[in-house]
A and B are shown apart, each in its own frame.
Chain A
Amino acid sequence: MARRSGGREARKALRSAPLSEAIKPVHPGETGGQYRPLSDADVLAIRSNIFRILEEIGFGDATAHCIETCTAVGAIMGNDGRLRMPGHVVENALDLCDRNLVLHGQDPQFDLQIQGQKVHFSTAGAAVMIADYESNAYRDSTAQDLYDMARIVDQCEHIHMYQRTCVLRDVADNYEMDLNTLYGAISGTAKHVGCSWTHYTHLEKSLELLHAVAGSDAAWRARPFVSQSNCFVVPPMKFTEDALECLRVAVEGGMPVLLLSAGQAGATTPACLAGAVSQAWAECLGGLVYLNAIKAGAPAILGTWPFVSDLRTGAMSGGSPEQGLLSAACAQIGNDLNLPFGTACGMTDAKFPDYQAGAERAYTLSAAALAGANIIYESAGMYASLLGTSPESFLMDNDVLGATLRMTRGIEVNDETLSFENIRSVCIGGEGHYLGSDQTLSVMQSEYIYPELSDRDSPNVWEENGKPLILEKAIKRRNEILKNHFPKHISDEIDKKVRAEFPIFLSPEAMGRR
């Protein structure tokens, strides 16, 4: 007998499944830019400052190839050994830069539009330890950890791509380490992946692996799903050879490059925030010049990652409010230049997921996201100023990122949302409240984001549920994911092929295969 669709079973199924795209309260790439820490005059001043640094100070330690390629497009090699870039050279590079950058995932649903003031979140970091809450200790990070974290991030809706988070301390050889970092990451998630290489030859071999996974070189070039994190410059204003070589190989191999300038304010960039912002951008634009000189329009993300030092100790302080300001200011400049760029924000100096961690993550992220940074790296899971990473933290951070995206999305103002007619009908001759109105019903899921782990129950209900703490819930969920979620977007066949040709460290069983 025919029955109407709908009803209780249907609703339960609906509510336990992810929301449809149409009514999701937040999407990757919400538009930021509302927060402007710099005035228009400030922006102009910093911009001139950037150009002046490039024109008058330039870079030291450029490789031969770099000097050759850059001078060919108008850079000037000085007698003092410094490579300077006059304004028109930089402007040229800016013109050539691909502003419609798409970072692909192995699965197209995860493709990211890195454009305008759209905001995305990523992980990153080369932590050497895992913050193990349950044993209350820090321990060495391993290949399994990296793969596991990729899988966890795969289940976090608001972490849009996965950049490697830790160092494989159980793999001795650098080549094998680079290769397994890559394979662990791309096996654990079909989202876009970011990796780094210690030597350009490792990158060359890695490209072969990627061709195997993509199916062919052409397939890889059409949709490159891994970007290279490249610290091509050692601040202040010095190129570094190994990284430059990796950059060249990446560009030639069709891999998007994250041009990273990661100075530390007060140590390797000026202590004054405006100066730190200027230097960071000058360094990245220098890399952009070189990259476009190798291949015009090669996909690149400008990675202005100035960090903060705690001048009491000289060590880095990722959770400081100044970090948030730096990221936000870099974002504002990036938007002004209309370039695809990223920044590092959302780190914490706390050792474990605690009050300090939550607070530092939240206020720094808010600043960067609202300022409209295209990709906010390090946004989840990093502790002790990048020395440690916590797997369960991703799950809790996911709620923070979702909330931040919602704030970034802002408020839509139109006739419908102004709700005048609704107000009229409720107040005059109506029920006196909006709880049951059609409008409330129609926007209750799209207008509001509901956290997955954060608890909003009343104390009575919370007590009845056994007084759950968010960390306990996260650990439970983490265990569930690690036990059950083994992504299979790379087929068994390809996996066998890869294992035959490359030294894959983790056993097939450890990665969920027979």
Chain B
Amino acid sequence: MAENQEVEVDDEDIDLSALPDDELVEQMHDDLYDGLREEIVEGTNILLERGWSPEKVLADALVEGMRIVGIDFRDGILFVPEVLLSANAMKGGMGILRPLLVETGAKPVGKMIIGTVKGDIHDIGKNLVSMMMEGAGFEVVDLGINNPVENYLEAIEEHRPDIVGMSALLTTTMPYMKVVIDTMKEQGIRDNYIVLVGGAPLNEEFGEAIGADAYCRDAAMAVETARKLVDAKQAADG
């Protein structure tokens, strides 16, 4: 892991275990911000040892920290590589929490499949969304680029996600999103999934017109929208 060249990390190591809970969480937010994976792992373990439930560690320390990263990214303070570094640190923490969450039967935040539609090979935006969704605690299956509707259907079948995400960057490939959604409707499965769409040439109107649940302007928006819709869905399902 490369140290962020510009930020000076104190040579004397901070003893995380000496920090009271609220300060430890604050420090973890900063460590997540700086992408310090080992420190996040350490902090996660300390909180668990103190009796924090894995859900609380996830929500208060990690997901909240990534939310702050998302805000500064959107405001142009953080660059894309720095966000990815933070997401990587988050994954370190998730690595410890995930088996514990599964064990306690806790409800996962959600699961998403995401891919760029057929005829389109742009994937940077999609990759960013994947990273930030993982950073928010979602499980993400990335289908890559140039996906015909069959790929989406197969993935839906195999992974049973909460969210189906589609990305397109060309006006010539955008119409294909409607084909995927129409096919989901025709097969009678549309209502079982949340469909999110994104891509620079899209807008809200288009997303609504083709029958998606929401259009997401950027990766941070995608995370916010996904969280809102998955929560609503889980509440409705009871």
Contact = CB atoms under 8 A, between A and B. Distances in A.
State whether these chains interact.
yes
Interface of A: 1-8, 10-12, 14-15, 20, 23, 433, 435-438, 440-442, 444-445, 458, 460-461
B8 interface: yes
A7 B29 CA distance: 8
Interface string B51-86: 000000000000000001000100001111110110
B235 interface: no
B78 A11 contact: yes
A5 B39 CA distance: 13
B19 A1 contact: yes
Contacts of B27: 3-4, 7
B69 to A, nearest CB: 9
Interface stretch (B97-105, B120-128, B153-161): B120-128
B3 to A, nearest CB: 9
Nearest to B123: A433
A441 B82 contact: yes
B198 to A, nearest CB: 11
Contacts of A435: 80-81, 84, 124, 127-128
B131 A6 contact: no
Interface stretch (B30-38, B108-116, B179-187): B30-38
B7 interface: yes
Contacts of A441: 2, 4, 81-82, 85
Contacts of A1: 18-19, 23
B81 A14 contact: no
Given A1-B19, A442-B5, A458 B200 contact: yes
Contacts of B218: 461
A15 B77 contact: yes
Given A10-B7, A458-B200, A4 B78 contact: no
Given A11-B72, A435-B124, A444-B79, A6 B200 contact: no
A379 B6 CA distance: 32
Interface in B4-30: 4-10, 12, 14, 18-19, 23, 27, 29-30
Contacts of A14: 6-7
Given A435-B128, A438-B1, A441-B85, A6 B78 contact: no
Complex A-B, nearest 9 residue pairs according to Cβ-Cβ distance, in ascending order: A7-B30, A436-B84, A438-B2, A441-B81, A6-B7, A440-B81, A6-B34, A8-B33, A4-B14
Given A6-B8, A8-B68, A436 B30 contact: no
A2 B7 CA distance: 17
Nearest to A7: B30
Given A12-B77, A14-B6, A435-B127, A6 B30 contact: yes
B77 A11 contact: yes
B88 A436 contact: yes
A448 B55 CA distance: 40
A445 B79 CA distance: 9
A5 B7 contact: yes
B178 interface: no
B171 interface: no
A23 B6 contact: yes
B217 interface: yes
B203 interface: yes
Contact of A4 (B10, B68, B84, B88): B10
A421 to B, nearest CB: 14
Nearest to B203: A460
A433 B81 contact: no
Contacts of A6: 4, 7-9, 30-31, 33-34
8 contacts: A2-B10, A4-B39, A11-B34, A11-B78, A436-B88, A438-B2, A441-B81, A445-B79
A14 B78 CA distance: 11
B56 to A, nearest CB: 22
Contacts of B68: 8
B78 A5 contact: no
Contacts of A3: 14, 23, 27, 30
B30 A444 contact: no
B111 to A, nearest CB: 20
Nearest to B87: A436
A23 B7 CA distance: 13
A433 B124 contact: yes
Nearest to B20: A1
A433 B34 contact: no
Nearest to B79: A444
Given A7-B33, A440-B81, A12 B2 contact: no
Nearest to A3: B27
A273 B8 CA distance: 55
A426 B81 CA distance: 15
A8 B86 CA distance: 12
A3 B2 CA distance: 21
Q: Which of the listed residues B4, B68, B81 has the most CB atoms from chain A within 10 Å of its own CB?
A: B81
Given A1-B23, A3-B27, A7-B34, A444 B81 contact: yes
A436 B87 CA distance: 9
A8 B27 CA distance: 10
Contacts of A461: 217-218
Contacts of B34: 6-7, 11
A14 B88 CA distance: 22
B33 A11 contact: yes
A160 B102 CA distance: 61
Contacts of A437: 81
A20 B4 CA distance: 14
B86 to A, nearest CB: 10
A50 B149 CA distance: 72
B156 to A, nearest CB: 23
Contact of B7 (A11, A440, A458): A11
A436 B18 CA distance: 32
Contacts of B200: 458, 460
Nearest to B15: A2
Contacts of B131: 436
A160 B203 CA distance: 44
